[in-house]
């Protein structure tokens, strides 16, 4: 933890309650940002083309336009005293245009790095943070020149991937060539497929004055490339490795000159040592699904940290007051009966369990793979949180973890 961030200068620059905070993107992350902003007394404005976007539905003002629409950007800038983003793939040009008129955090340049796996990996290297062995494939020559040691690997599009989309697992050169064709011969990164012992992430917040705080490290379980379960504290990761992850996340935020909330995902891989070794996977320039437990298990949530960094308020180090397990609720849950028609999951059955915090995002239509909500179980000890979360998963028909 760094020292107190309250300085007369920072306090003088803070936006007063009643000011409007703007957000690019109207998904669930924007919705939870809006809720946090509202509880600190701010008004909110959301830009998203969807008239029924989760954040647009709860904001004071909804600008229904495309991200690059001039009139929409002008309306958001007009309405807002400062603007942030909730969607990783908001075009960086849109943030640049907004920044000509209003303070924007994180800055377009930092978002651009997080949007491109090649730039992201170059940044890891520059900050001295290890990442998976990889090669850039943007031409047939680069495809042919891939070192054999990277196979078996995972071919990932350099841009516009999320939730495991734009990724193909490849075993040999023939499969690699076919996968690159399948991905439209777009610029890609081939990563060596690593044997993962665990996955963890760090959510760090950095203010304009350079002060940083972070959430305690969380451990994540993915299914089919999508986050399924987050556990805090991490059950399987040595404290020294957790501390290293925090140091790396801070180094990455600091060297980007980042302002806002940044999530860094890491793999724990075998290197023959007892603890294993840490490898950075990717960064998200916004709050992250793996930090959702902070709403209920920490005394400052990742969304409040985003509000504080945007409004120029002091950062206070979050404290995990309860061990927690977060379960993602994907649209698949609505189709468990095998029917084509969506059926509401049995919420009362899980709300009857102690320490269950249910968050639904207000999306009208459930679709397989769509993030519809999450639930966090808090308890006095990690064993109880885990046992109750397993029971909740069973009652909903989620796979065991
Ligand atoms: P996100 O929704 O987190 O943005 P994404 O589509 O960008 O996801 P990644 O984080 O790159 O995808 O990968 C998704 C998951 O696939 C990882 O969390 C991990 O479980 C697995 N994975 C990715 N890269 C590797 C690798 N090099 N070796 C082994 N497993 C990997
Ligand atoms: Mg990821």
CATH of the domain at 73: 3.40.50.20
Q: Using the predicted structure, report yes or no on whether residue 274 has a pLDDT greater than 90.
A: yes
Reading the block at residue 4, the tokens are 């107190």
CA–CA distance, 12 with 9 (Å, rounded to integer): 5
Whether 338 shows a pLDDT value over 60: the answer reads yes
Q: Which CATH number fits the domain that encloses residue 158? A: 3.30.1490.20
Do 184 and 204 lie in a common domain? no
| 8 A C-beta contact, residue 297 and residue 322 | yes
User: How many domains does the chain divide into?
Assistant: 3
- Shared domain for 304 and 214, answered yes or no, is yes
Using one digit for the tens of pLDDT, what is the confidence trace for 136-173? 999 999 999 999 999 999 999 999 877 778 899 999 99
Whether residue 95 lies inside any domain: the answer is: yes
In a domain, 389, yes or no: yes
Q: Which two tokens stand for residue 168?
A: 């193909």
Q: Is the pLDDT of residue 97 over 70?
A: yes
Mutate to test the pocket of ligand 1, among 281, 290, 330, 371 (most ligand atoms within 8 A of CB): 281
Q: Is residue 120 part of a domain?
A: no
Residue ranges of E strands in 96-186:
134-137, 153-157, 167-170
Distance of CA 188 to CAs 148, 155, 200, 215, 395, Å?
17, 7, 24, 32, 41
Distance from C-alpha of 186 to C-alpha of 205, rounded to nearest angstrom = 33
Q: Is residue 127 part of a domain?
A: no
- 69 with 147, same domain? no
Identify whether residues 172 and 225 lie together within a single domain.
Answer: no
Residues 167 and 207 in one domain: no
Same domain, 178 and 36: no
Gap from CA of 226 to ligand 2 centroid (Å):
8
- For residue 233, whether the previous peptide bond is cis, meaning omega lies within 30 degrees of 0, is yes
CB pairs under 8 A, 24+ apart, for 340-344?
A: 342/366
- What is the tens place of the pLDDT at every residue in 109-141? 999 999 999 999 999 999 999 999 999 999 999
Note whether 222 and 360 are same-domain residues. yes
Q: What gap in Å lies between CA 128 and CA 131, rounded to an integer?
A: 9
| Shared-domain flag, residues 362 and 226 | yes
Q: Are 219 and 106 in the same domain?
A: no
Whose CA is closest to atom 9 on ligand 1? 164
117 marked as binding residue = yes
Question: Are both 302 and 163 inside the same structural domain?
Answer: no
Nearby residues for ligand 2 (ion, Cβ within 5 Å):
265
- Ligand 1 and 196: CB distance under 6 A: yes
Based on the domain organization, do 258 and 362 belong to the same domain?
A: yes
Whole domain around residue 89: which residue ranges?
8-114
The pLDDT tens digits for 43-81 are 999 999 999 999 999 999 999 999 999 999 999 999 999
Whether 244 has a binding-site annotation, put simply, is no
Shared domain for 110 and 151, answered yes or no, is no
């Amino acid at each position: 933890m760094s020292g107190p961030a309250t300085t007369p200068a920072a306090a003088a620059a803070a936006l007063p309650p009643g000011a409007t905070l703007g957000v690019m993107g109207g998904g669930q992350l924007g919705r939870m940002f809006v809720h946090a902003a509202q509880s600190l007394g701010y008004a909110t404005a959301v830009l998203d083309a969807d008239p029924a976007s989760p954040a647009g539905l709860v904001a004071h003002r909804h600008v229904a336009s495309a991200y690059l629409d001039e009139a929409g950007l002008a309306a958001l800038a007009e309405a807002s005293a400062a603007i942030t983003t909730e969607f990783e793939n908001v075009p960086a040009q849109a943030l640049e245009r907004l920044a000509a008129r209003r303070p924007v955090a994180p800055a377009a340049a930092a978002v651009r790095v997080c949007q491109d796996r090649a730039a992201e990996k170059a940044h890891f290297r520059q900050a001295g943070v290890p990442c998976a062995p990889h090669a850039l494939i943007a031409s047939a020559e680069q495809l042919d020149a891939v070192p054999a040691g990277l196979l078996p690997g995972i071919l990932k599009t350099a841009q516009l991937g999320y939730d495991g989309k734009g990724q193909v697992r490849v075993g040999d050169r023939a499969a690699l060539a076919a996968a690159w064709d399948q991905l439209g011969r777009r610029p890609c990164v081939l990563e060596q497929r690593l044997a993962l012992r665990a996955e963890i992430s760090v959510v760090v917040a950095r203010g304009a004055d350079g002060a940083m705080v972070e959430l305690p490290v969380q451990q994540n379980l993915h299914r089919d490339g999508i986050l399924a379960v987050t556990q805090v504290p991490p059950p399987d990761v040595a404290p020294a490795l957790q501390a290293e992850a925090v140091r790396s996340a801070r180094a990455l935020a600091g060297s980007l000159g980042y302002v806002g909330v940044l999530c860094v995902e890491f793999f724990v891989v075998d290197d023959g040592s007892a603890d294993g070794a840490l490898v950075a996977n990717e960064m998200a320039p916004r709050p992250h699904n793996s930090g959702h437990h902070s709403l209920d298990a920490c005394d400052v949530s990742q969304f409040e940290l985003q509000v504080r960094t945007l409004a120029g308020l002091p950062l206070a180090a979050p404290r995990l007051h309860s061990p927690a397990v977060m379960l993602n609720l994907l649209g698949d849950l609505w189709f468990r009966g095998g029917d084509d028609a969506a059926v509401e999951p049995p919420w009362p059955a899980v709300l009857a369990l102690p320490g269950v915090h249910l968050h639904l995002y207000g999306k009208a239509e459930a679709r397989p793979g769509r993030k519809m909500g999450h639930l966090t179980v808090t308890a006095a000890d990690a064993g109880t949180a885990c046992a109750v979360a397993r029971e909740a998963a069973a009652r909903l028909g989620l796979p065991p973890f």
